[in-house]
Amino acid sequence: MKNKVFIFIVGIVLATTFISGQNPIIKGVFTADPAPLVYKGKVYLYVGHDTATVDAKTYQMPDWLVYSSSDMVNWESHGPCLTVKDFAWASYAANAAHCIERNGKFYWYISIIHRANTDSKGGVAIGVAVSDSPTGPYKDAIGKALITNDMTTDMKHAWDDLDPAVFIDDDGQAYLFWGNGSCKWVKLKENMVELDGPIYTFKPQNFTEAPWVYKRNGVYYLVYAANFPETIEYCTAKSIEGPWTYRGLIQDRSYNSSTTHPGIIDFKGKTYYFYHDGSLPTGGDYRRSVCVESLYYNPDGTIQKIVQTKEGVKAVNEK
Ligand code: FUB
C-alpha cells in the first residue's frame, strides 16, 4: 500500500512538472514570421512554413499557413492558403508576409525571390494576393510584383526588399513598410495594390528587418528585428512619416534561433505579442516555431520588456 501511495505521489509530481506549456503555439510543423490579424471576433495568424531538413544551411519555405483562434489557446489550422506557385513571376522562398483587411477584402502582402532575378543578382520582391475571406482562396492581385529589388537602391544586397507590413491610418491612407538593412515605406492607393507616391528609406537604430507598424493612443509604433542574431527593438513617432524616436529593446534573442519576428495585436481587451524561436525538438535557424506572450505598456506608452515563457498566454474570455 505504501508503495502505491509513493508511486501515485511521484506520478503527480512528474505529471505537473512535465505538462507541456503552450509555447510554441503551433507544434505539428515548423512556422515563422507571425502576422496576426483580428477579424470578427477571431485572430487569424498568417505564418511562414519552414520545411528545411535538420542539417540544412538555408531556408526551405514553400508556402504560407493560416491558423485561427477565438481564445488565443486553441488554434485551428486552415492549411497552406498561399504558395510560391500562386505567383507566376516568383521563384522560391516564401519569406515573411502580412495580411490586412480592407472593405471586406483581404490583402496578403508576401516577400519572395523574383524569377527574373535568380541568375546573378537574386532579388527579393513583394507581391500581393487578394481574397474575399481571411482563409482564401487567394489569387495574385496584379500578376506581377508590387515592389522589385531595383526600386530601392540604398542597400546593395539582393534581399533588402522583404518583410512587408501594412498599416491603414485613421484617415484611410494605407502605408506599406518593409526592408532589410534599411526600412522603406510608401503610400498605397485605396485599392491596396498600387503605389501612391515615392518610396522613402530610413534607418531606425539597429534595424535589421521585420517591421511591424501600428498606432496606439495617437502614437505610431514601429517594432522591428534589430542586430544579428536578432533582438526586437522599437521606435515611436507622432507622425507615420516620422521622425522616429528610438525607444529601446523589447525582446531578447529568442531561444535557438538567430532570427525572430514581431507581430502585435489587441484582442478582447488584451495586447498580444507574437514572435518565433527554435524551441521545438530538432528546431533551429531554419526550423522555427511561432510563440505568443502578453504585451504590457507602461503608463507613458513605452513597451515593457517581453518575457519569453513556455506557458504562453491563458485563454481569453469573450468581452
Ligand atoms: O523567414 C525568412 C526570413 O527570416 C524573414 O523574412 C525574416 O524576417 C526572418 O525571420
Q: What is the CATH number of the domain that holds 276?
A: 2.115.10.20
Q: Count CB-CB contacts under 10 A for residue 272.
A: 21
Query: What is the residue with the minimal CA distance to atom 4 of ligand 1?
Result: 259
Phi/psi for 129 (5° steps) reads -110, 155
**CB distance 179 to ligand 1 below 6 Å:** no
- Cell numbers given for 238: 507622432
Q: What's the burial of 156, exposed, middle or buried (CB within 10 Å: 0-12/13-18/19+)?
A: exposed
The pTM for the full model equals 0.93
Report which residue type is found at 258. Answer: S
Place of cell 502582402: 109
Residue 221 belongs to what domain range?
2-294
Adjacency order of strands within the sheet including 270-277: 263-267, 270-277, 289-294
Report which residue type is found at 190. Answer: E
Sequence-separated (6 or more) residues with CB below 8 Å from residue 239: 220
What is the C-alpha to C-alpha distance for residues 86 and 89, in angstroms, rounded to an integer? 9
Please report whether residue 78 resides in a domain.
Answer: yes
| d(CA 72, ligand 1 centre) in Å | 23
Please report whether residue 315 resides in a domain.
Answer: no
Please report whether residue 303 resides in a domain.
Answer: no
Please report whether residue 306 resides in a domain.
Answer: no
**CB distance 32 to ligand 1 below 6 Å:** yes
Q: Are 95 and 163 in contact (CB under 8 A)?
A: yes
Please report whether residue 305 resides in a domain.
Answer: no
Round the CA-based radius of gyration of the chain to a whole number and report it.
20
Strand pairing category for 97-102 and 200-202:
unpaired
Q: Which atom of ligand 1 is nearest to the CA of 163?
A: 6
Please report whether residue 44 resides in a domain.
Answer: yes
Please report whether residue 53 resides in a domain.
Answer: yes
| d(CA 237, ligand 1 centre) in Å | 25
Of 257, 258, 234, the C-alpha closest to 306 is: 234
Phi/psi for 11 (5° steps) reads -60, -45
| d(CA 171, ligand 1 centre) in Å | 31
Residue 145 to residues 22, 26, 212: CA-CA distances in angstroms? Answer: 37, 30, 21
Hey, which of 60, 126, 163 would you mutate to test ligand 1's pocket, going by the most ligand atoms within 8 Å of its Cβ? 163
Q: Count CB-CB contacts under 10 A for residue 175.
A: 19
pLDDT value, residue 183: 98
pLDDT value, residue 164: 98
Please report whether residue 312 resides in a domain.
Answer: no
pLDDT value, residue 319: 53
The number of domains in the chain is: 1
**How does pLDDT run along the chain (319 residues), one tens digit per residue?**
555 544 444 433 333 333 345 999 999 999 999 999 999 999 999 999 999 999 999 999 999 999 999 999 999 999 999 999 999 999 999 999 999 999 999 999 999 999 875 443 459 999 999 999 999 999 999 999 999 999 999 999 999 999 999 999 999 999 999 999 999 999 999 999 999 999 999 999 999 999 999 999 999 999 999 999 999 999 999 999 999 999 999 999 999 999 999 999 999 999 999 999 999 999 999 999 999 999 999 999 999 999 999 999 999 986 5
